[in-house]
Amino acid sequence: MRIINIVDSVSHVNYGIWHASIVNAGLMKRKGFSTELWYPATDFSELPNVKAIPLYDTGIKALKRIINEKSLDPLQDIIITHGSWKFATRWGGWLKKRGFKWIYVPQGMLEPWAMQQKRLKKKLYFTVIEKKIAAKADVIRAVSLTEMKNLQTLFPNSLVQFIPNGVAIDEGMKERYLKMHEKTRYLFLSRLHHKKNVVALAKAWLASTINNDPAFELLIAGPDQGELEKLNSLLRHSSNMKYIGSVYGAQKRQILDESDFYILPSFSEGLPSALLEAMGAGVIPIITEGCNIPDVFNYDLGARITTEKENITKVLEETSKWNFTVMQDKSKRNMEFISHHYSINAITSMQLELLNRVLPAATITSNDM
């Protein structure tokens, strides 16, 4: 049986979406499901347990050809589309008409703040095209509880299922919360898009008393998507706020291991994988409600900020005074929380239960996960 994940892009700025779609491919393989990733053709490295399928044409004629070439079978193959607005939704809807089971995963793109950007254009397209196609999906998957409520409102007659994105837990980091670092590091690890509000964070840092204090550091990492020029004009006013570009693999793990706080003053998210990875590594979250993990506040795992510079500065000042015992406790509880609720083991069990309901041929259980 095949799980066919269709994404609009496998670029670095789209990492959170495409990587979340295939992160548990190894576990799914053990359960009898092969994982494929279909994407508009570009340079892309093969990933373990994932069959990468570059698409040289995203028209329906090309899809018809692919169905024949790859012998797609409605009884054996399930279609999962990630994101909204582009060809993936149209392909999902077309395949649904041909008898395939289809799971539609908007990945936060239909959240209220996101819908306000280019509002008139999105409203028209959503009303006339996107909503009508997506409503035909067998399941609409929400990656956060907040998104689930929104999607239930947008699609009142559809089955909306909450299954969060998951992350692999690095076993080597289980003791990291016992460490005391030479300097307290705040980490922003995400793409530099105006939605992420990194410029407000930089301004808040400059306004704080910990700016230029060698005992503290703000490290900004991620691919630029339009904010770097504005950020660079601010970086020159600080000796302890740095931008290091995109980080992946071993470099990212090292940076997480050496960080104390993960800060994301975002206006809106689906469910940010980088935040889950940071919390799973014991890095304490400082986030907005728009990051869609209210349990951070409900269980006192980190700190709440708004998107306003003044509030971010205030919380930077407050958290800079936390003692090591408090930080150690929160670090440990973050790791335990992610391991229990957002590990690839946890989300794979939820996915298997859904697939067993949606795909008649699937009789796989979640035993020995």
- CA torsion 96-102-105-111 (nearest 10°) is 50
Taking Cα atoms as reference points, which of 250, 197, 242, 200 lies closest to residue 221? 242
Comparing 2-166+343-358 with 171-341, is the CATH topology the same?
yes
pTM: 0.86
Give the residues across from 217 on adjacent strands.
185
Q: In the structure, what pLDDT confidence band is assigned to residue 368 with cuts at 50, 70 and 90? A: very low
- Where along the chain do its domains lie? 2-166+343-358, 171-341
Is 365 a residue whose pLDDT tops 60? no
Is 364 a residue whose pLDDT tops 60? no
The string over 136-172, giving b where at least 16 C-beta atoms fall within 10 Å of a residue's C-beta and e elsewhere, is ebbbbbbbbebbbebbeebbeebebbbbbbbbebbee
- Residues 203-248: tens digit of each pLDDT: 999 999 999 999 999 999 999 999 999 999 999 999 999 999 999 8
Angle at 33 between CA 28 and CA 39, to 5 degrees: 90
Q: In the structure, what pLDDT confidence band is assigned to residue 366 with cuts at 50, 70 and 90? A: very low
- Residues 49-66: tens digit of each pLDDT: 999 999 999 999 999 999
CA distances from 171 to 181, 301, 344 (A): 20, 20, 13
Q: In the structure, what pLDDT confidence band is assigned to residue 89 with cuts at 50, 70 and 90? A: very high
Kindly report the CATH number that applies to the domain delimited by 171-341.
3.40.50.2000
Taking Cα atoms as reference points, which of 315, 317, 296 lies closest to residue 306? 315
CA distances from 105 to 53, 183, 215, 271, 359 (A): 19, 40, 42, 12, 17
Is 288 a residue whose pLDDT tops 90? yes
Amino acid at the residue 19: H
- Residues 313-346: tens digit of each pLDDT: 999 999 999 999 999 999 999 999 999 999 898 8
Class of domain 2-166+343-358: alpha beta
- Residues 247-259: tens digit of each pLDDT: 988 899 999 999 9
Mean pLDDT, the chain, whole residue set: 92
Secondary structure (DSSP) of 239-294: SSEEE-----HHHHHHHHHT-SEEEE--S--S--HHHHHHHHTTPEEEE-GGGS-T
Give the CA radius of gyration of the chain: 21
How deeply is 282 buried, as exposed, middle or buried, from its count of CB atoms within 10 A (0-12, 13-18, 19+)?
Answer: buried
Percent of the chain at pLDDT > 90 equals 80
Give the model's pLDDT for residue 360: 66
User: Stretch 94-116: mean pLDDT, rounded?
Assistant: 95
SS3 142: strand
- Residues 136-170: tens digit of each pLDDT: 999 999 999 999 999 999 999 999 999 998 888 76
User: Kind and range of the H or E element at 170?
Assistant: none
User: Stretch 67-91: mean pLDDT, rounded?
Assistant: 94
